[in-house]
Amino acid sequence: MLIYRLLYEGKAKRVYATQDPELLIVSYKDDATAFNGAKKGTIQGKGVINNQMSNLLMARLERQGVPTHFVRELGPRETLVKRVSIVPLEVIVRNLSAGSFSKRYGVEEGTAFDEPTLEFSYKNDELGDPLLNDDHAAALKLATRAELALIRGYAFQINRLLREIWADRGVILVDFKVEFGRLPDGTIVLADEISPDTCRLWDAKTREKLDKDRFRRDLGGVEDAYRRVMERLTILCGDDLIQGHTKLCNAVSALVQEVR
Ligand code: ADP
Ligand code: AIR
Ligand code: ASP
């Protein structure tokens, strides 16, 4: 996958075309923005962490039945993905009240909901990503009713799976934002990224914030939080490595027996 040209430079990633029209390369930057780009900065090493974390989590989700754009990690910051036409919706799932929900509805941050709650925002920087409901999304023809139902189902499934992964690592998944896209045949898949830029992740014991809120709110220790939360996740990577190693050993011993 050598030939590429820059198609789009976003706030956190660059997107390159490849010689295959159905595949793209995304490259994760250390640039950080908040409040629709009003606040700008750099989080050293973020691109590498977000790339690797997103890939680990997407690979895991894919194995558990959620179709994703992930194809293959190419480098510390670069990943090959299936090209999709992005559904211009920010799909947000919340387990505990935080951020804009707490502000909008006057609910204390950290209040747990009886069941996860979902909201859509219109992915449109000029309009400031306004909140919208299913009827608005259908009226604006952002997605069909059937697509909205599918996206909603996937979003809750992703929440169940991610919540469990993080709970096993002593981390509370407070909320997150995902994006979906359409493959050329219309199949809806999970796209974009899953990282501390797009999830609120709190230490389960201390409730310390281990995500982009440290940058948004000038809490300090931003790089350290990204590094620590990634370290927690690589324990999960260990499981996968052990599984891979076992498979390899079995294959080698089968081959040795065949040769004998
Ligand atoms: P933004 O556009 O919000 O500044 P990024 O810097 O993360 O965000 O840029 C990545 C862009 O690529 C986003 O607009 C995202 O919707 C889009 N994108 C993510 N995955 C894919 C994909 N598989 N195919 C096409 N576009 C994608
Ligand atoms: N998010 C929303 N827009 C961009 C991003 N990354 C994510 C936040 C948070 C969740 O969506 O990182 O995890 C809800 O954000 P908010 O600000 O609506 O409370
Ligand atoms: N990434 C978005 C922005 O630049 C929103 C956020 O993460 O706060 O404004």
Q: By mean pLDDT, which of 145-154, 202-211, 228-237 is the weakest?
A: 228-237
Q: Which of 6, 26, 182, 198 to mutate to test the pocket of ligand 1 (most atoms within 8 A of CB)?
A: 26
Query: Residue 4 has what pLDDT?
Result: 78
Task: Determine whether the shortest distance from the Cβ of 83 to ligand 1 is under 6 A.
Answer: yes
**What pLDDT is stored for residue 102 in this prediction?**
98
Strand partners, 121: 90, 131
Ligand 3 pocket: which residues have CB below 6 Å? 11, 33-37, 212, 216
Is 87 in contact with 186 (CB distance < 8 Å)? no
Which residue of 120, 172, 175, 226 sits with most ligand 2 atoms within 8 Å of its CB, as the best mutation to test the pocket?
Answer: 175
From the alpha carbon of 36, which atom of ligand 3 is closest? Answer: 9
Q: What is the pLDDT of residue 251?
A: 54
- pLDDT beyond 90 at 258: no
From the CB of 92, is ligand 2 less than 6 Å away?
A: yes
Kindly report whether the global pTM for this prediction surpasses the value 0.85: yes
Give me the amino acid identity at 73. E
- CA pair distance 170, 153, nearest whole angstrom: 26
At residue 72, the 3 state secondary structure works out as strand
The token pair that represents 14 in the structure block: 């660059």
The Å distance, Cα 243 to ligand 1 centre, comes to 32
Question: What's the confidence (pLDDT) of residue 235?
Answer: 73
Report the separation in Å between the CA atom of 41 and the middle of ligand 2, taken as the mean of its atom positions: 17
Cβ contacts of residue 158 below 8 Å, gap of 6+? 61, 66, 93, 178, 190
Q: Say which ligand is closest to the CA of 173.
A: 2
Cα–Cα nearest to 103, from 213, 208, 246, 10: 213
44: Cα separation from own chain's centroid: 19
Task: Please name each of the domains of the chain with its CATH number.
Answer: 3-83 (3.30.200.20), 86-222+229-239 (3.30.470.20)
Residue 255: which pLDDT band, with cuts at 50, 70 and 90?
low
Residue nearest (by alpha carbon) to ligand 1 atom 18: 192
